[in-house]
Structure formats: C-alpha cells, structure tokens
Amino acid sequence: MLIDFNNLNINQLSFETEFEIKIKSFLEEWFSDSETVKVQTSGSTGVPKIFDIEKKKMINSAEMTCNFLELEEGNTALICLPVEYISGKMMVVRSVIRKLKLIIVDPSTRPIEDLNEEIDFCAMTPLQVENSLGKLHLIKNLIIGGAAVSESLKKKIYQTLRLSNSSTKIFETYGMSETLSHVGLKQIAPNAEDFFTAFENVEISKDERGCLKIFAPKVNAEVLQTNDLVEIKDKNQFRFLGRMDNVINSGGAKIFPEQLEALIKKEIPNEAIFLGIADESLGQKLILIIEGKKSANLLEKISGISFEKNFHKPKEIIFIENIPRTPNGKVNRIELKNML
C-alpha cells in the first residue's frame, strides 16, 4: 500500500491488513483536534509505559531528521516498524510534514524482500537489516535503530554496498522515546564514523558519572539525564561507551560489556552478551552468553581474541538457543540474567 501525503484523502484509501488499519488509526489520531498523541515505550530498560506527546514536538523532531537527510517533498519512504512505538509513529509523521510518498509494509524480519524499486528513505532494526542486505542498494538513506549495530553487521553492510557500487547512506541512530526517536546520527556507510553527531539545537554534556545529558528544547522541555556513559569530542559529537546500569564490577574493576561485545562481534556472527553474575570472591563474575549451538569453531575464534585487559576475558562461556528480546527486538538483559 502507498500513501501520497502530497495528495491525501484517507477516506479514499483502502486499509486492509492489521498493520495498515493501525496506521489509519494513528492518522485519525494525528489529524484530530487533540494536541497530543499516545506513545508506548519499548520496555527494554524498565516497565513499558504509555505517555502523551505533543504533536508540535513530534513535528520538530521530524523536521530535524528530514533536514539532516535532505529529504524533499515527493520523495518515497517505507515504513516497516510497529506503529505502537515512537519509531513507527515518527516515520508516519516525517512523511506527513515533508509530504512524502509512504510505502506501507507489514513489520517482519524481512521487510524489503519484495522491494524492486529505489526509495529515498527507510528505518529498520539491525535484525531487519541483517535479513535485507541484498536489497540495501535500493535505499538512498537508511537509519538503523532499536538496538546497537554490531561490528559484524557493519562489516556485512560495507561489503554488500561496495560490491553493488551503491551510493546508499546508512546511519546508526541515538535516541529514546523521550527524545521522540533520535537526536543524533552516526554514519556507518559509505564512511564509518566513530562519533554520533547531534542535531542542530541539541546540547550535550556529561554528569559527574560521565553519563550523557541532553537538552533538546524542540522535542523535550526538560534536560534529559541518561545512564549512557559517553566520550564527548566537541559541542555536538559524542561516542557511546556503554550503559551505567550494565557496568560490571568484577574484583574492583569496572567493565563496560557493550565494548567487549563489539570486540567479540568482529570475530563471530552470533549474538554475544556479557553479564556480571554474583560471585563471593569477585563480587561479580564476568560471563559470556552466545546465542546458538556450542561449537569448537566458535570457541576457537573467541579464544583467539586479544582483550585489552586480562580481566576482560570471560570466566565462563554459556551457549543458549535464544536470547530473550523485547517486542521491538532489543536484547532483554534483565530477563536473560533472571534465566541464568
């Protein structure tokens, strides 16, 4: 299904699938007299909740993304993310305010397998991208959110686009529900960047713990305090180091699991998660969970990895068939820890 927001008449459109009907419902809410819409959080860092967001702030967020990517009226976009969450809602809002042609595809792990034409803009999760490598060259601007982009996926993206000689631009996003999707982007391809670039009118700083503080008055009147440990390069660029609540304290040493996971994923294709499990002598024992079947090949690759510190080596490696995830695809570390 395609909606042309330059010539919109909802009553003349035929919404058939469950996902299309949800988009119609959101459009009716968007064009209603209410100044707010309801948004659900993913629950990846806590209990899922529903809250109201001002439409004006969503418009401001949409304009920042469209301006950054230089999207123009009449460009084509594709939505394949659940519209219950801010990520899906913002794809619709960007299409509305920039008068894009929006292609609606039911959310799945292979959302563009039937795509045979070039489009200007799309947003996907890392898992969706993993299963869409063969058609990434059809997308001019792709943003990836919902979870961190692994090193192995970045390598696959680079190799795929190089072979197709594509001019596709791919970005990793930084943001949360409270920032109305994202407030910064980091290019993955064709140029691999180390730092996120915050949008115009977004101020960044650190608290005494080294965690990122965001002031983006166009999308949220409050200064947002995150639990994300960062390195700030200049007034609008920062590097993500890891989440404060994921930090593992083993024998008095602080370990950032996200950095170790990035190192591991350069060598193996499997999902890999580091956790700290209660230990009498160390306080927390560093363990590595690998998604998939145990194999000598995987163990050999892991044993060959050169860790910066000796205490970065996992004390134990556990293989698990399926790592638990939230509804929008993020690894659920809390549930995983409870399982173990």
User: Tell me: the pLDDT tens digits for 230-252?
Assistant: 999 988 999 998 888 888 888 88
Q: How does residue 23 score in pLDDT terms, banded at 50, 70 and 90?
A: very high
Regarding the domain with residue range 247-339, which homologous superfamily does it belong to in the CATH classification? Answer: ANL, C-terminal domain (3.30.300.30)
* Residue with more model confidence, 46 or 28: 28
Has residue 44 got a pLDDT over 70? no
Spell out the domain ranges in the chain. 2-202+234-242, 247-339
Regarding the domain with residue range 2-202+234-242, which homologous superfamily does it belong to in the CATH classification? Answer: ANL, N-terminal domain (3.40.50.12780)
pLDDT of residue 52: 87
User: Tell me: the pLDDT tens digits for 89-123?
Assistant: 999 999 999 999 999 999 999 999 999 999 999 99
Q: Please, is 296 exposed, middle or buried when counting C-beta atoms within 10 Å of its C-beta (0-12, 13-18, 19+)?
A: exposed
Degrees (nearest 5) of the Cα angle 199, 205, 206? 140
Question: Which of 118-132, 193-207, 270-284 is the least confident region?
Answer: 270-284
2-202+234-242 shares its CATH topology with 247-339: no
Question: Residue 100 corresponds to which amino acid?
Answer: L
pLDDT of residue 42: 60
pTM of the model: 0.79
Give the whole-angstrom CA distance, residue 173 versus residue 181: 8
Q: Average pLDDT, stretch 173-188?
A: 89
Classify each residue of 20-55 as buried b or exposed e, where b means 16 or more C-beta atoms within 10 Å of its C-beta: bebbbebbeeeeeeeeebebbbbebbeeeeeeebbb
pLDDT of residue 181: 85
Q: Could you tell me whether strands 119-124 and 76-79 are parallel, antiparallel, or unpaired per DSSP bridges? A: parallel
- Which range has highest mean pLDDT (70-79, 220-229, 294-303)? 70-79
Contact 272, 265 (CB under 8 A): yes
Give the whole-angstrom CA distance, residue 311 versus residue 292: 25
Contact 270, 291 (CB under 8 A): yes
